[in-house]
Amino acid sequence: MTAMAGDNGCVGLVLVSHSAEIAKGVADLAGQVAGPAVAIVTAGGAQDGSLGTDGGRVLELLRAAAAGTGAVVLVDLGSSVLSVRAALTELSAAESERIRVADAPLVEGAVAAAVAASTGCSLEEAARAAEEARNVAKL
């Protein structure tokens, strides 16, 4: 397992979605806004490529992030949340401290967290930036 680490110690992002396309699209967008220093990885869709979640992949990504600079986790809905919760129970206490699941909309949260991370902020600050996305007026 390779640790997931951003440049200059930037925290990273783990995006979990029912859809591989959604996860990749959000990763591309967040990556463009945040720049290359922020590592963004995705767990989108089931193992066979259909809509769903792959718990094994989620755990693998969380472990890699915890071994590196830590990550904010963004989820879409339903079983994505359940997969993340299940994976968290498999982590050690030390690993868990480097993972923060943000209660935020996937796209807006990922963009906000990624940009925050690119400024070198802490894990908690990046997660809060994601969660503030719920309050920002879009229109």
Partner 1 sequence: MSQSSELLVERQAQLPATVALHARPAGMLVRAAAAFNADVFVCANGRRANAKSILDVLALGAEGGTELVIAASGDDAVEAAEQLALLIPSLV
Binding site for partner 1 (CB under 8 A): 29, 32-35, 108, 111-112, 115-116, 118-119, 121, 129, 132-133, 136-139
* Residue (87 or 113) nearer to partner 1, CB: 113
Q: How far is Cα 20 from Cα 35, in angstroms, rounded to an integer?
A: 21
Enter the DSSP assignment of 111: H
DSSP 32: H
18 in active site = yes
* Whether 123 contacts 134, CB under 8 Å: no
Q: Which residue's CB is nearer to partner 1, number 59 or number 112? A: 112
Distance CA 56, CA 83 (A): 9
Considering 16, 18, 23, 131, which one is annotated as catalytic?
Answer: 18
Q: How far is the CB of 70 from partner 1 (least distance, A)?
A: 19
